[in-house]
Amino acid sequence: MKQILIVDESSLFREYLRFKLEENGLGVRFGIGAADSISKVRNTVPDLIIMDYHLGRQGTMEILKQKKADPNTVNIPVIMLAQRIDQKQLIELVSYDVKKVFNKPVKVDALFVTLSELLGIPLSIDESPGIVEVHVNDNIIFIEIAQGLNRDKLDLLYFKIIELINLYEIRVPRVLVMLSDIKLGFADAPNMEKLLTTVIKASKARMRYIRVLTLDDFVRQFITGQKEYEEIEVVSNLQFAVDDLLSGADSRAEPVGRKAELIGDKLLQANDRENAEAMLLKFDAEVKNASFELMKDSLQDLRIAVIDNDLAIQELIKTTFRKAGTAVTAFSDGQAFLAAVNDEEFDLVFLDINMPNSNGFEVLKALQARNRKYPIIALSEVLQREIMIKAVQMGVKSYLAKPLKPEDIFKKSIEILKANF
């Protein structure tokens, strides 16, 4: 049995990879930090290492140097995962037998193809079309699925929901599943059941707090035709679905439960179960104690823009990121930002929807026309929900309502910038 060593800061991402790799008959071990990882490289001599570049600059390079210095481990291939990496850093990695670098969020299907090639063994991969994106807005878990129901990506969805519930400490989960550009038929029934089961188990949401947004007749008939899903409402209007979930939320309902219980029954079927449970229990503490200092290596080289005519908002966002040594470029109107994107790239954009001289929607249209795709966090005044719905329809995945709080900026930025999958 071939052995894989996974060295990554996200316990949920580690568990997702373990789940998929063991499903394919591979042995999996975890390295926690530089010292533990170096020890496991030497003692287990794995067939391949999957490593997060942003463990801490010194820790990552120390693992690679120790691997290279040992004749027994020098030829172990490495797959590197990175939030952002420049050409100079890529060149530096070549001498350490780093075979491939994947930017996060990782395209899991491409990762599995590379694993198969490097290990010389076939891996079971669902190659059918499918795009899955998950975001939290107004404490509603938005799940957008396009093109099709890819089973591997539905497995990934389970872990992503858990990650966001932990990050936002959501007590009463409300879920909106948006099936975009999907036409399903009878043959898709098992995958549709897998989707609903995944959402229910991962979120622990009461079914009356789940909405499915679709125009597809099969989806509607599938859900309404089965008694176990009778409380799940199928809707065709996005604004109605959001307003319905918000107005129907019961803030007095019981909490979701202990964070470790969110992991589910089937997640921890690993050989070193005790170690896995300890890491998963630690994840809650990782989220609560998260700080930009812990994210410093992955944030330092990022380019962030804020487009807002309110100088106080500009300064608030600058101050939030200054703690991590991350520079923020501010623009007071959309035209100035659009002029800048001809020469600059940005990794994250905060965009005020209500601005004079090119409002947020005009900026979004201009970016679409230029085929520029940025992770965008839309900003707008409180209670302007119809504006936010329009922004979501134009491709904005996340938004924040003014007045802004540093904690909200922080959590939303973690959601976008630290996405693993």
Q: How far apart are the C-alpha atoms of 265 and 198, rounded to whole Å?
A: 12
Q: How far apart are the C-alpha atoms of 363 and 416, rounded to whole Å?
A: 20
Residue 353 reports pLDDT greater than 60: yes
Residue 275 reports pLDDT greater than 60: no
Q: Are 83 and 417 contacting, i.e. CB atoms less than 8 angstroms apart?
A: yes
Q: Are 129 and 147 contacting, i.e. CB atoms less than 8 angstroms apart?
A: yes
Q: What percentage of the chain reaches a pLDDT higher than 70?
A: 86
Residue 107 reports pLDDT greater than 90: no
Token pair of 365, please? 């249209």
Secondary structure of residue 334 in the 3-state scheme? helix
Least confident of 70-79, 117-126, 237-246, 277-286: 277-286
Q: What percentage of the chain reaches a pLDDT higher than 90?
A: 55
Residue 305 reports pLDDT greater than 60: yes
Give alpha helix (H) positions in 256-405: 273-288, 296-299, 311-322, 334-340, 360-369, 385-393
Q: How far apart are the C-alpha atoms of 264 and 64, rounded to whole Å?
A: 35
In degrees and rounded to multiples of 5, residue 32 shows phi and psi of -110, 100
What is the SS3 string spanning 371-407? CCCCCEEEEEECCCHHHHHHHHHCCCCEEEEECCCHH
Q: How far apart are the C-alpha atoms of 52 and 147, rounded to whole Å?
A: 30
Q: How confident is the model at residue 261 (pLDDT cuts 50, 70, 90)?
A: very low
Q: What is the pLDDT of residue 218?
A: 96
Sketch the domain layout of the chain as residue ranges.
3-119, 131-247, 296-417
Cβ-in-10-Å burial (0-12, 13-18, 19+) of 95 comes to: exposed
Q: Over the chain, what is the mean pLDDT?
A: 84
What DSSP character marks residue 171? S
Instruction: Using alpha carbons, select from 41, 39, 4 the residue that is nearest to residue 19.
Output: 4
Cβ-in-10-Å burial (0-12, 13-18, 19+) of 43 comes to: exposed
**Average of per-residue pLDDT across 303-314:** 94
Residue 276 reports pLDDT greater than 80: no
CATH class of the domain defined by 296-417: alpha beta
List C-alpha distances in Å: 2 to 68, 80, 212: 20, 19, 41
Strand partners, 140: 137, 174
HSE-up of residue 184 (Cα within 13 Å, Cβ side): 30
Strands 140-146 and 131-137: antiparallel
Q: How far apart are the C-alpha atoms of 61 and 59, rounded to whole Å?
A: 6
CATH 3.20.20.10 is right for the domain spanning 3-119: no
Q: How far apart are the C-alpha atoms of 3 and 19, rounded to whole Å?
A: 14
Q: How far apart are the C-alpha atoms of 293 and 299, rounded to whole Å?
A: 9
Asked, colleague to colleague, whether 3-119 and 296-417 share their fold, the answer is: yes
Helix axes of 11-23 and 151-168: crossing angle, nearest 10 degrees: 160
Least confident of 3-12, 72-81, 241-250: 241-250
Q: What is the pLDDT of residue 266?
A: 32
Q: What is the pLDDT of residue 87?
A: 86
At 358, which amino acid appears? S
Least confident of 100-104, 243-247, 270-274, 325-329: 270-274
Greater model confidence, 123 or 417: 123
Query: What number of other Cβ atoms are within 10 A of residue 29's Cβ?
Result: 20
Specify the CATH number of the domain 131-247: 3.30.750.24
